[in-house]
Structure formats: C-alpha cells, structure tokens
C-alpha cells in the first residue's frame, strides 16, 4: 500500500531552531478520519484540538428547591442550589476539571461543553436532594471523539518513538532521514493517517509537527484486527534534508 506525506508549514522553522536527530525523539501517532490535514497546524496539541468535544445536557426537572451535585466519579462538587446560574455551575465544574476547560450555557436546560483536552469527562449527577423535580437527568448529547486512536487494543496514546534515527548523505550537503520500521503488535483499530512530530520542546515550541502521512491515498480507512501492523519506510528514507 502506497501512501503520501505532507509537511506542516512550521517544520522548516522548527528545523532552523535546531532539531538534533541524534538526541530528539520523533514519534509516529495514528489518526482517525476525524482529522483533516491542515498545513497551518503547528503542534501535536493543535491536532488533538481538532477532536470532537463532549457535550451534555443537564435537566433539573422543574425543581422548586433543594440541591444537586455533579462529579467525575472521584470528586463531587459542593451542593449546588436548584436555581443556580450557568456561571455558578460552570465554576463548580471548573474546580474539578480545571479553569477554562468547561463551558455551561443556559437555555431551557443547561448545556455543558468540555474542552477537548479533558477527553471523556465521566460526568455524573446526583439529584437526590432536589425537591419538586420531575425526572431530572444528565444526558450525553455528544461523546468525546479523539482524532488520535485511544489507549488499548495494541495502541498507546502519543504513538511510537522512532528507533535508529539516522541522517545519511545522498550527495553534497543533501541527506536523508531514516529510521527503523514502526510496528504495533496485536493492533485492533480503524485509522487513516500517521502524524510525525517531535516529542519535546524545540525553540520554545512544545511537540512541533513534522508531517502528516496518509496511508491510503484513496483516501480510505485502514481496518485491522489483532494483527502486527507495520509502517515500512521507503528505501529513499522518510524525507530528504539539505
């Protein structure tokens, strides 16, 4: 299967800031079709931010008194009044998930949206202390969907580090970057592309991007079940440098 490689606009600037292919770690992560290549993305975090954020609806059932709590399965909010504002609920959730990582909007009900960096929130609610409420509920409208494969089934979030990185001369000042092939063992997944990025900070930029690799240029998803799946680099190297 032949693929294609597309570089990010910022990679040249990253190179000029001093990439050391002998000591810096380059990783290859696997992405789903939920991500569309954008040459202006700069970092691994920029790519993950293209994930689909989780959204839930909080319905208090017309409560006339009492309190309720929200939590992530480990930590609960303090009791929240039945007539609390969206801002009050948002502040209570931020105390658990982090400032700026939750947005609560009020309409007929409350819409709770989590930042993609939260991932799956495991949000739960207790309405036992509400009074006058009819069928209060917390409903997931949109689950978090990452553009990177999740942990498990042969994959680890962040991808695999490239081994045996080497720059070899082609002619004159030109050379090629090569590495050992990358294999995921007993992989069960559906994915479409690979993401090459530098793991760490280069010139003040964390996890800068190198390139997007489309494995099937149709384009089409790759579906595997319990197999050892290998990215085999070209004999001409991953890419040329000069």
At residue 212, φ and ψ (nearest 5 deg) are: -110, 130
Query: Which DSSP state fits 52?
Result: B
Quick one: tokens of 160? Answer: 């695999």
Q: Provide CB contacts within 8 A for 100, sequence distance 6+.
A: 94, 115
The pLDDT confidence band at residue 67, using thresholds 50, 70 and 90, is very high
Ranking 48-62, 83-97, 137-151, 167-181 by mean pLDDT, the lowest is 167-181
Average pLDDT, the chain: 92
Model confidence over 149-195: pLDDT tens digits? Answer: 999 999 999 999 999 988 775 555 567 888 999 999 999 999 999 99
Task: Please give the C-alpha separations between residue 34 and each of 31, 51, 52, 118, 194, in angstroms, as whole numbers.
Answer: 8, 7, 8, 17, 13
How much is the pLDDT for 174? 61
Radius of gyration of the chain from its Cα atoms, rounded to whole angstroms: 23
Q: Cα–Cα distance between 109 and 61 in angstroms, integer?
A: 9
Q: Look at residues 2, 29, 66, 43 and name the one whose alpha carbon lies nearest to residue 214.
A: 2
- 3-state SS assignment for residue 102: strand
How much is the pLDDT for 239? 81
Q: How many helices (H) and strands (E) does the chain have?
A: 3, 20
Q: Look at residues 112, 117, 106 and name the one whose alpha carbon lies nearest to residue 93.
A: 112
Residue ranges in 98-202 assigned as alpha helix (H)? none
Q: How do beta strands 239-241 and 182-191 pair? A: unpaired
Model confidence over 3-40: pLDDT tens digits? Answer: 799 999 998 888 777 777 778 899 999 999 999 999 99
Calculated CA dihedral for residues 26, 144, 74, 137, nearest 10 degrees: 180
Q: Provide CB contacts within 8 A for 20, sequence distance 6+.
A: none
């Amino acid at each position: 299967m032949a693929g294609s490689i597309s570089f990010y606009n910022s990679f040249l600037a990253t190179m000029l800031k001093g990439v050391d292919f002998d000591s810096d770690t380059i990783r290859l992560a696997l992405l789903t079709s939920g991500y569309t290549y954008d040459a202006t993305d700069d970092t691994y975090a920029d790519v993950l931010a293209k994930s689909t954020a989780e959204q839930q609806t909080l319905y208090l059932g017309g409560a006339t008194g009492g309190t309720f709590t929200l939590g992530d399965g480990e930590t609960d909010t303090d009791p929240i009044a039945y007539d609390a504002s969206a801002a009050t609920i948002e502040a209570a959730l931020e105390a658990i998930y982090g400032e700026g990582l939750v947005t609560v909007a009020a309409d007929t009900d409350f819409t709770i949206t989590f930042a993609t960096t939260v991932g799956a929130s495991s949000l739960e609610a207790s309405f036992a202390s509400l009074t006058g409420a009819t069928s209060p509920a917390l409903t997931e409208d949109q689950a978090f969907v990452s553009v990177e494969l999740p942990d498990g089934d042969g994959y680890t979030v962040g991808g695999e580090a490239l081994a045996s990185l080497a720059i070899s001369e082609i002619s004159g000042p030109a050379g090629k970057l090569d590495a050992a092939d990358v294999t995921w063992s007993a992989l069960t997944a559906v994915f479409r592309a690979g993401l090459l990025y530098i793991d760490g900070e280069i010139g003040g930029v964390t996890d800068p991007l190198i390139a997007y690799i489309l494995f099937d240029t149709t384009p089409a998803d790759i579906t595997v079940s319990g197999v050892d799946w290998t990215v085999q680099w070209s004999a001409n190297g991953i890419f040329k440098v000069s």
